[in-house]
Structure 1
C-alpha cells in the first residue's frame, strides 16, 4: 500500500510595481530591501521583525526563490543599482547639490 500526497506548487510572492521594482506580496517592501537584510546576515525571523507587514512564509519563499534563481535576481539587482546611481547623478546635477550645504549656510 502506498500513500500518495499531493503538493501544491506556489509561485513566489512577487509583484511588479509602477516603477519597475519587485515588491513582496501586497506590501511596499521591495525585494531589494529583503535581500539586503538577508545578505547582511539577518535570518528570515529577524527580517519578519524588521518588516512586520511581511508574513514569514513569504520571506522564506522569496529567499528560496532567490537561491534557486540567483543569477537572474542578481542581474535584476545590478540593473536597479545602476538605475538608482544614474538617477542620483542626474538629480545632483539638475539641482546643483554639490554646493547645497554652502547655500543653506549662506542664508543665515
Structure 2
C-alpha cells in the first residue's frame, strides 16, 4: 500500500525576513526569477548546486500555487532593496568613490 505523507515546503524565512530554499543561502527570489526566465528545475539546480532538485520542484509548486502572495513578497523585497540602496548612496557617494579610485590609479601609473 502506498503511504502518502504531506511534506513541509522547503522554504525558511531567515532572521532578516528573507525566504531561503532548503538549508541553503539561495533565495526564493532567485529560484522564482530563474523559473520565470524559462529555466527548468534541473537547470536551476545546475546553476545553484547547493539546491536539491526535490526542493526546487517543491518551491516552484509553492510559487505556482501562491503566485499572488509570492508577488507581494517579491515586491516588498524590491522596495526594501531600493530603500537600502538609497541609504547607502547617501552614506557613501558612489560618484565620489569612483573619482577617488580613478585619481589613485592615475597617481600609481603616472
Structure 1 length-normalised TM? 0.90
Q: Distance in 1 between matches of 2:8 and 2:43?
A: 23
Residue 28 of structure 1: aligned partner: 25
Q: CA deviation at 1:81?
A: 0.6
Any gaps of 5 or more consecutive residues in structure 1? none
Any gaps of 5 or more consecutive residues in structure 2? none
Moved more, 68-77 or 4-13: 4-13
1:97-108 equivalent positions in 2, closer than 5 A: 97-107=94-104, 108=107
Structure 2 length-normalised TM? 0.88
Q: Deviations for 1:17-44, whole angstroms, at most 9, x for unmatched residues?
A: 1211011111111111111111111110
Q: Distance in 2 between matches of 1:27 and 1:105?
A: 38
Q: Distance in 1 between matches of 2:100 and 2:25?
A: 35
RMSD, aligned α-carbons: 1.3
**Alignment check: 8 A CA contact 1:92 1:98 kept:** no
Alignment length, in residue pairs? 105
Secondary structure of 2:89's counterpart equals helix
